[in-house]
């Protein structure tokens, strides 16, 4: 059974309040089926059925003690659940922190409503709009141009639909050192081929959000930013306007985007040459 299978079984088992109550009893110590059945207004066979569900999910085990078979709580599946929920807890906490920032809850942090301070880049690419859209949404193509000069993109996982997640890993290798940077986010708007909006946060290789400050970013840098991409056709070419809400004009992030778009333009041109 894979980890995902174990999580599915555990969450399914925990969906019933009677089974959660049985686990609460077993948290106090091992007990027989008869003892577990006492608080419930149901037959012993019905309680036994719930216990079998918990046993198949690995949440409890049975052991023989003298004349009785005792049920015992197993902690390993619960630890897996705790680890899974902890990952998403950090995401939601980061989102709530960012909302607090948006509404002025943290002094000294930049107000996200001041959109005129954010990076806004406009480019016209000598490529059809459908191709430019694919360069943003096809992970294989995206890896070919994304990131500043000197960085590669070994990983691009993109579930391009509203509510879908994304995870991008960038890497740089020099004789002196190697460096990795990971980003994760959620797609908020997907309107092919004209508009794409997604959130972006720094994360580790597992996708767990980390503080930007732990990566050397300034205190004013928010935990979650938002990338807005708008595409339109202009005389057979594609006009792109990209706004990165949360990243200030004139910062290193702005420079990185410009370098990436230079690579996008060159890559789109090479794909056009191949087609002609």
How far apart CA 157 and CA 4 sit, in angstroms, is 18
How far apart CA 48 and CA 71 sit, in angstroms, is 11
How confident is the model at residue 96, as a pLDDT? 54
Residues 37 and 120 in one domain: no
**What is the DSSP secondary-structure string of 94-106?**
HHHHHHHHHTT-S
Does 110 map to a domain? yes
Residues 22-53 have pLDDT tens digits of 999 998 889 999 999 999 989 999 999 999 99
Residues 148-186 have pLDDT tens digits of 998 999 999 999 999 999 999 999 887 777 889 999 999
Mean pLDDT, rounded, for 48-67: 88
CATH number of residue 14's parent domain:
1.10.10.10
- Whether the predicted pLDDT of 65 surpasses 80: no
Residues 233-266 have pLDDT tens digits of 999 999 999 999 988 888 888 899 999 999 999 9
Cα 270 to chain center, whole Å? 32
Residues 63 and 104 in one domain: no
pLDDT bin (cut points 50, 70, 90) of residue 94 is low
How confident is the model at residue 268, as a pLDDT? 95
As a whole number, the mean pLDDT across the chain is 86
* Dihedral in degrees, nearest 10, Cα atoms 244, 246, 250, 256: -50
By the 8 A CB rule, do 206 and 198 touch?
no
Residues 105 and 63 in one domain: no
By the 8 A CB rule, do 33 and 71 touch?
yes
- Whether the predicted pLDDT of 107 surpasses 80: no
Residues 24 and 109 in one domain: no
- Whether the predicted pLDDT of 98 surpasses 80: no
Residues 222 and 134 in one domain: yes
Higher pLDDT, 118 or 83: 118
Residues 185-234 have pLDDT tens digits of 999 999 999 999 999 999 999 988 888 887 777 777 888 999 999 999 99
Domain limits for position 53? 3-73
By the 8 A CB rule, do 186 and 199 touch?
yes
The per-residue b/e assignment along 171-181, b for 16 or more CB within 10 angstroms, e otherwise, is beeeeeeeeee
How confident is the model at residue 116, as a pLDDT? 53
CATH number of residue 198's parent domain:
3.30.530.20
Higher pLDDT, 98 or 15: 15
Tell me the percentage of the chain whose pLDDT exceeds 70: 87
Residue 233 has φ and ψ, to the nearest 5°, of -85, 135
How confident is the model at residue 71, as a pLDDT? 92
Does 84 map to a domain? no
Residues 52 and 134 in one domain: no
pLDDT bin (cut points 50, 70, 90) of residue 76 is confident
Residues 145 and 201 in one domain: yes
How confident is the model at residue 82, as a pLDDT? 81
Tell me the percentage of the chain whose pLDDT exceeds 90: 57
How confident is the model at residue 66, as a pLDDT? 64
How confident is the model at residue 92, as a pLDDT? 57
What's the total number of domains in the chain?
2
CB proximity list for 92: less than 8 A, separation 6 or greater: none
């Amino acid at each position: 059974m894979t980890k995902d299978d174990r999580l599915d079984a555990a969450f399914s088992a925990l969906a019933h309040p009677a089974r959660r109550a049985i686990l609460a009893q077993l948290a106090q110590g091992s007990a027989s089926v008869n003892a577990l059945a006492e608080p419930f207004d149901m037959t012993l066979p019905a309680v036994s059925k719930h216990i079998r569900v918990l046993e198949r999910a690995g949440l409890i085990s049975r052991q023989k003690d003298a004349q009785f078979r005792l049920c015992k709580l197993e902690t390993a599946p619960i630890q897996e659940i705790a680890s899974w929920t902890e990952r998403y807890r950090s995401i939601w906490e980061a989102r709530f922190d960012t909302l607090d920032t948006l509404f002025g809850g943290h002094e000294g942090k930049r107000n996200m409503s001041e959109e005129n301070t954010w990076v806004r880049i406009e480019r016209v690419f000598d490529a059809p709009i459908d191709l430019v859209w694919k360069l943003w949404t096809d992970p294989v193509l995206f890896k070919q141009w994304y990131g500043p000069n000197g960085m590669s993109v070994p990983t691009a996982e993109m579930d391009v639909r509203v509510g879908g997640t994304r995870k991008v890993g960038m890497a740089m290798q020099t004789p002196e050192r190697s460096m990795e940077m990971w980003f994760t986010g959620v797609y908020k708007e997907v309107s092919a081929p004209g508009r794409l909006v997604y959130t972006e946060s720094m994360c580790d290789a597992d996708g767990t959000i980390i503080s930007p400050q732990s990566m050397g970013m300034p205190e004013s840098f928010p935990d979650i930013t938002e990338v807005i991409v708008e595409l339109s056709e202009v005389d057979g070419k594609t006009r792109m306007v990209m706004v990165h809400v949360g990243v200030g004009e004139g910062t290193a992030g702005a420079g990185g985007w410009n370098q990436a778009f230079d690579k996008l333009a060159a890559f789109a041109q090479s794909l056009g040459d191949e087609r002609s």
